[in-house]
Amino acid sequence: MPAGRHTMLPAAGFAGIDLACRRGERLVFAGLSFSLAAGGALVLTGPNGSGKSSLLRLMAGLGRPEAGVLSWDGAPVGEDPPAHRARLHFIGHQEAVKPLLSVAENLAFWAGMRGGGDVGQALARFRLAAFAGSPCRLLSAGQRRRLALARLLASPAPLWLLDEPATGLDSDALDDLQAAIAAQREAGGFVVLSTHTELPMAGAATLCLSDFAARPA
């Protein structure tokens, strides 16, 4: 790569250039670049420990890349973290569901923290409307997962970062997730997700993390 590459950020969309990530002593991946235009989707694949979650966390701003830069519409995201946080949804491995609150209360809290949204409609889209009043400690693992995903719809954000969103979902919920992703892309949003299961999406780019595994020097 030529020197001064950071001045050559793509003018539009979400991109990462020459990213490297370190976890403890280990360089997880290096020299990783990607770019997404509006409506684009990126699927991260690769074996366990290849850095899919690490890359998604970097994209969310949880941690800094060892090298490289992430950009949004031509500006490095590290320059304005609050603006980046405002434009993204990150759904990690953990559902961030409070067992003592009801389904609707949980979702209303997360939507409210982002300025409010349509909780009822989001619950209905993920088939949780019937459970709206029940406490979350009664939910199954798959239902908790659906509740976490409902946060995506309760308050809109252009960038979705989903870490193994399909874990624990039944086939109906998988259809719901795919429909939600399709709608997000149709509206010009961006979706990055990691997955081990087949999650067919039209026109999605695939990035295999093991291709960027750092070789021991």
Partner 1 sequence: MSAFRLLVQRDLRLALRQGGDAAMVVGFFVLATILFPFGVGPEPELLARIAAGILWVTALLAALLSLERLFQADWEDGSLEALSLMPLPLEAQVLAKCLAHWLVTGLPLSATAPLLALLLQLDAAGYKVLVASLLLGTPTLSLIGAVGAALSLGARRGGVLLSLLMLPLYIPVLIFGVGAIEASIGGFGVGPHLLLLGALLAGALPLAPLAAAAALRQALE
Binding residues for partner 1, rule: CB under 8 A, are 60-63, 82, 85-86, 88, 90, 92-98, 100-101, 105, 109-110, 112-115
In angstroms, the CA 74 to CA 92 distance is 26
Give whichever of 5 and 137 is closer to partner 1, judged by the CB atom. 137
- CB of residue 186 vs partner 1: minimum separation in angstroms? 25
- CB of residue 108 vs partner 1: minimum separation in angstroms? 9
Give whichever of 62 and 141 is closer to partner 1, judged by the CB atom. 62
Report the relative pairing of strands 75-76 and 67-72 from DSSP bridges: antiparallel
Give whichever of 23 and 179 is closer to partner 1, judged by the CB atom. 23
Six-digit token string for 22: 């370190």
Please, are residues 66 and 27 in contact by the beta-carbon 8 Å criterion? yes
Sign for the CA dihedral angle at 155, 156, 158, 162 comes to: positive
- CB of residue 112 vs partner 1: minimum separation in angstroms? 5
- CB of residue 200 vs partner 1: minimum separation in angstroms? 28
In angstroms, the CA 212 to CA 79 distance is 26
